[in-house]
Amino acid sequence: MSKQALLTPYSKNISLKNRVVMAPMTRSRADNKAHVATDELQGLYYEQRASAGLIITEGSQVSEKAVGYIHTPGIYSEEQVEGWKKVTKRVHDKGGKIFIQLWHVGRISHPNFHNGELPLSASAINPNAQSFTPEGFKDTVTPKEMTIEDIKTTVKDFQNAAVNAIKAGFDGVEIHSSNGYLFHQFFTGCSNTRTDEYGGTIENKTRFFFEVLDAMKAVIPQEKIGVRFNPSLNGMFGITVDKQTIPTFEYIIKKLNDYNLAYVHLSEPFTDVSEVPFAVTEIAKHFRPLYNGTLMINTNFDQAKGNKVIEDGDADLVAYGKPFISNPDLVERFENNLELTAWNQDTFYTTGVEGYTDYPKASKKAV
């Protein structure tokens, strides 16, 4: 019997022992005041999952202005760098590889996080979503449209975060340009009505993202940079698909062929978009022919679907989210065809070890 596609090694700009990737997932376990990842929580959590070919951490804000959720870690202070050093060491000591996801939530935030100041976005348009604040979920507000100086500052923030990530021992970084957060807000007409060089045309709406990418590759190797997109996100985080959406992402993906990145990470639709005009229902199949580098895919994959998408040539790597929460030994379970433990959604964003580091590994008995 041939080895499962998911469990074969991969080597193209990034060398991995298998193709099972732990997807980035906000878990709200960091120190809430200093936004520091801790050895006893994040360190153990990621160490437990080090058999993954690659771990991508939860989103980690690149500055204080990037924050939009409680108990999320950052990568902009020395204290945060020191905290992450302990985490990366634990993963490396177990033979794992780990990237950090660099994050700016933009308008999916609240003045409570910014001393009363408005969060930033492409344009002053309220996403009509909610932000997870220290006082519970609160409705979002109309954000401040970023000035050119705000954009330049944020470019520098991402560049500094990339440098800090390497200092902290990460094998690379992933730019979170997905799921309705800051870069996604620039990409789409529902959140970007600018008339300057960052709005209007597809080239203009993607300019900010490529400025960040160029700034980062000036300070760390391109092979240590991954990027994430959600081309058919609709009806969540204030994002709606329109006739320019897919052409915009096609432009981005094609242009990324000019770079030498670790990977491009795409999400299949989070919701049913079969009746949504202009949406693409099969992301991997649509974008695979457009990109020559390493393509990672996620959203609702199980073991069989993960093997198939690789065997069909539609993706090189598969990222798993919720299954990794409740199955720290997900790779070993795939190897031995073991049943998966169900996750407890009630503990996804709580504090402490419950539902975080207390899921047991399986006994090695095939089912």
In whole angstroms, what is the distance from residue 189 CA to residue 245 CA?
A: 8
Contact in structure between 249 and 257 (CB atoms under 8 Å): no
Using only C-alpha atoms, the chain has a radius of gyration, in whole angstroms, of 19
Q: Which two tokens stand for residue 259?
A: 């770079």
In whole angstroms, what is the distance from residue 287 CA to residue 229 CA?
A: 11
Could you count the other beta carbons within 10 Å of the beta carbon of residue 258? 7
Contact in structure between 143 and 107 (CB atoms under 8 Å): yes
DSSP string, 284-309: HHHHGGG--S-EEEESS--HHHHHHH
Contact in structure between 178 and 267 (CB atoms under 8 Å): yes
In whole angstroms, what is the distance from residue 20 CA to residue 305 CA?
A: 12
Provide the annotated active-site residues. 181
- At 321, the amino acid letter reads G
Question: Is 208 strand, coil or helix?
Answer: helix
Could you count the other beta carbons within 10 Å of the beta carbon of residue 137? 10
Residues 6+ apart with CB under 8 A from 227: 174, 175, 177, 213, 256, 261, 263, 264, 265
In whole angstroms, what is the distance from residue 312 CA to residue 316 CA?
A: 10
Return the exposure string of 138-153: e unless at least 16 CB atoms fall within 10 Å of the residue's CB, then b: eebbebbbbeeeebee
